[in-house]
A and B are shown apart, each in its own frame.
Chain A
């Protein structure tokens, strides 16, 4: 039986934005496993991004428990949660959020710097990672000199720099054209299937749903549907069909 990397049970969350708290998640139970690509989908306001924040330990739920490798994370303070994210998680953001003043290599080095890796080793590792995502020719380019797809790949390389067990991606294909989007998903699928990482993706993009191992459909803060899909064709095959 597979062991859950993240296990959330009875998770509810409300935001105090006015006189009445707004409840965005109600009594959610989710488990995330190593080696799988889990997709969180749903309409805007359904709570999928909030759930990603809670699973990624960026946000603590109003109630419920989030376990990481079977251990409760509820009692941890802000700095301990930051150290936890540094050790276990890699994040890929919709807007990439790369440092505009740093080159592609230096942006990846930031993650390694946080981990305390020496500058020289960090530079070598960053270059290797960028080459592995197909950016060997753009190592010293600044984000403004890169296309959206290339920036997304820098962001993926940065997320992978700490060799995280869990990858969290928020709308990773939203700003990409069809081909770049499928390439990004292919890379994330490979990271899950071949490197036994847990990959959680929040997406609106119907083109990529078929590549998830499991899909959780959220509506009004509750799980409306859970779909387990057999491992279908890789995005590269899909690309061939474009």
Chain B
């Protein structure tokens, strides 16, 4: 047998290079752990650094999620299948009016079961102390099936509440901001009188201008409009109808408006605020920056640890250890650091999110985001270990004899 073959056998026999050997539980995990905790100050700095990075990323992405959620919340909760809007509407909050007859034109299209008018417009709310707030007035017909706030407290009927000629509904979150202390309080919108007849719970607004729900007639009155203009037509499809086919029919009938599914409109609204304003880009950049800070901290710590252990790693190479054995130690160090740091960081984010749950724009932190951030953090740590791995790749076993 040639020496090459013999060594090949030996390699397999001794777990030199096969994939199975790589997976085998070995002493590397112990070495990795001890390397990490050997210098406790450095270990603490590493964990704090990773946790800090996780907190930054978690809060930023939580805010981004809230941002995305609130930019399309009106669309998401309207319960419509399709939206008819003026041509080129970038976002649900930034619409231009369309003719109210579009509702009836839509109803005439095959496949449309229900078509309802929806009016959305900015208005000025005047508090009792004279301070003015911008609000978003939303008007729907009292008997509407779509576009209603979904979180009206039990016992309250949207239809009943809006049957009063000047009735409006606001969200409890913004009651203080709008100077509202209780039901039946009279307020001013666009210098016209309105009465608070109900509260919703948890309908947040992205623009920080609270939503004010009212009847279509009252909305027109508050806006001082006598025309027949509306902002959207909300459409519910007849059972079994294909949305794409109905959109084609509606577009053919009304070529000067846009017709979109709720999902498309929600995505357009999110994309608009995310990409065309600086807000979304800024949050994404902050998240990437936080990740980068984490990578630098972990890379620096792992590199320092690797440099400290270089003579021992050279010994392992001299003794005949394969390179992957050393890579495994460094990667396991990175994974351990990443796991501990991300658990600490995610725990801290969860606490912060809980404490800030009543803010007007609290970051959202669902379980999938926590798991995702944990995974990204660990991957980030493994990525940061590449600097150390490149150092190990060029390690010269002869060095240990010098």
CB–CB B2/A71 < 8 A:
yes
Q: Does B304 contact A (CB under 8 A)?
A: no
Which residue from A53, A89, A109, A114 sits with its C-beta under 8 Å from B401? A53
- Distance to closest chain B CB from A36 (angstroms): 22
Q: Give the nearest-CB partner of B312 in chain A.
A: A99
Q: Does A44 contact B (CB under 8 A)?
A: no
CB–CB A93/B401 < 8 A:
yes
**What 0/1 readout, one digit per residue, does chain B (1-43) give for beta carbons within 8 Å of chain A?**
0111011101101111100010011111011001100100000
- Distance to closest chain B CB from A53 (angstroms): 5
CB–CB B320/A114 < 8 A:
yes
Given contacts A101-B34, A101-B38, contact A82 B400 (CB under 8 A): no
Which residue from A49, A71, A97, A116 sits with its C-beta under 8 Å from B3? A71
Label chain B's interface by main secondary structure. Answer: helix
CB–CB A114/B3 < 8 A:
no
Q: Give the nearest-CB partner of B17 in chain A.
A: A79
Q: Give the nearest-CB partner of B397 in chain A.
A: A58
Interface residues of A in 52-76 (CB under 8 A from B): 52-53, 56, 58-59, 68-69, 71-73, 75-76
Interface residues of A in 66-121 (CB under 8 A from B): 68-69, 71-73, 75-76, 79-80, 82-87, 89-91, 93-95, 97-102, 106, 109-111, 113-116, 119
CA distance A198 to B318 in the complex (A): 18
Chain B residues with CB under 8 Å of A213's CB are none
For chain B, the bracket of interface size reads: 35 or more
- Distance to closest chain B CB from A4 (angstroms): 15
CB–CB B7/A106 < 8 A:
no
Q: Does B179 contact A (CB under 8 A)?
A: no
**What 0/1 readout, one digit per residue, does chain A (108-139) give for beta carbons within 8 Å of chain B?**
01110111100100100000000000000000
CB–CB B14/A97 < 8 A:
no
Stretch of B183-191, B321-329, B356-364 with 4 or more beta carbons under 8 angstroms from chain A: B321-329
Q: Does A186 contact B (CB under 8 A)?
A: no
Which residue from B27, B317, B401 sits with its C-beta under 8 Å from A94? B401
CB–CB A97/B31 < 8 A:
no
CA distance A109 to B316 in the complex (A): 12
CB–CB B400/A80 < 8 A:
no
For chain A, the bracket of interface size reads: 35 or more
CB–CB B16/A101 < 8 A:
no
- Distance to closest chain B CB from A3 (angstroms): 15
Q: Give the nearest-CB partner of A72 in chain B.
A: B3
CA distance A82 to B397 in the complex (A): 10
Chain A residues with CB under 8 Å of B397's CB are 58
Q: Does B319 contact A (CB under 8 A)?
A: yes
Chain A residues with CB under 8 Å of B319's CB are 85-86, 89-91, 110-111, 114, 158, 162
CB–CB B320/A82 < 8 A:
yes
CA distance A72 to B21 in the complex (A): 27
CA distance A87 to B24 in the complex (A): 19
- Distance to closest chain A CB from B59 (angstroms): 35
Chain B residues with CB under 8 Å of A73's CB are 3
Given contacts A72-B3, A99-B31, A102-B31, contact A87 B26 (CB under 8 A): no
Interface residues of B in 49-89 (CB under 8 A from A): none
CB–CB B15/A87 < 8 A:
no
Most buried by A among B6, B16, B323: B16
CB–CB A114/B14 < 8 A:
yes
Q: Does B90 contact A (CB under 8 A)?
A: no
CB–CB B21/A116 < 8 A:
yes
Chain B residues with CB under 8 Å of A59's CB are 398
CB–CB B325/A53 < 8 A:
no
CA distance A42 to B27 in the complex (A): 39
Which residue from B35, B320, B325 sits with its C-beta under 8 Å from A85? B320
Chain B residues with CB under 8 Å of A98's CB are 312
Q: Does B315 contact A (CB under 8 A)?
A: yes
Given contacts A76-B4, A79-B16, contact A110 B10 (CB under 8 A): no
Q: Give the nearest-CB partner of B318 in chain A.
A: A91
Chain A residues with CB under 8 Å of B202's CB are none
Q: Give the nearest-CB partner of B308 in chain A.
A: A100
Chain B residues with CB under 8 Å of A101's CB are 31, 34-35, 38
Chain B residues with CB under 8 Å of A49's CB are 401
Which residue from A84, A113, A116, A162 sits with its C-beta under 8 Å from B7? A84
CB–CB B7/A80 < 8 A:
yes
Q: Give the nearest-CB partner of A111 in chain B.
A: B319
- What residues of chain A have their CB less than 8 Å away from a CB belonging to chain B? 49, 52-53, 56, 58-59, 68-69, 71-73, 75-76, 79-80, 82-87, 89-91, 93-95, 97-102, 106, 109-111, 113-116, 119, 122, 158, 162, 170
- What residues of chain B have their CB less than 8 Å away from a CB belonging to chain A? 2-4, 6-8, 10-11, 13-17, 21, 24-28, 30-31, 34-35, 38, 309, 311-312, 314-323, 325, 397-398, 400-401
Listed by A's residue number, 25 A-B pairs whose Cβ atoms lie within 8 Å are A58-B398, A79-B17, A82-B16, A82-B320, A82-B321, A84-B3, A85-B319, A86-B319, A86-B320, A86-B321, A87-B10, A87-B14, A91-B315, A94-B401, A99-B34, A102-B34, A110-B316, A113-B27, A114-B15, A114-B316, A114-B321, A115-B14, A116-B24, A119-B27, A170-B401
If A84-B7, A110-B319 are given as contacts, then 11 extra A-B residue pairs at C-beta distance below 8 Å, sorted by A number, are A58-B398, A58-B401, A71-B3, A79-B17, A80-B8, A82-B323, A83-B17, A84-B3, A87-B14, A101-B38, A106-B27
Q: Which 6 A-B pairs have the closest CB atoms?
A: A86-B320, A116-B15, A101-B34, A85-B320, A71-B3, A113-B27
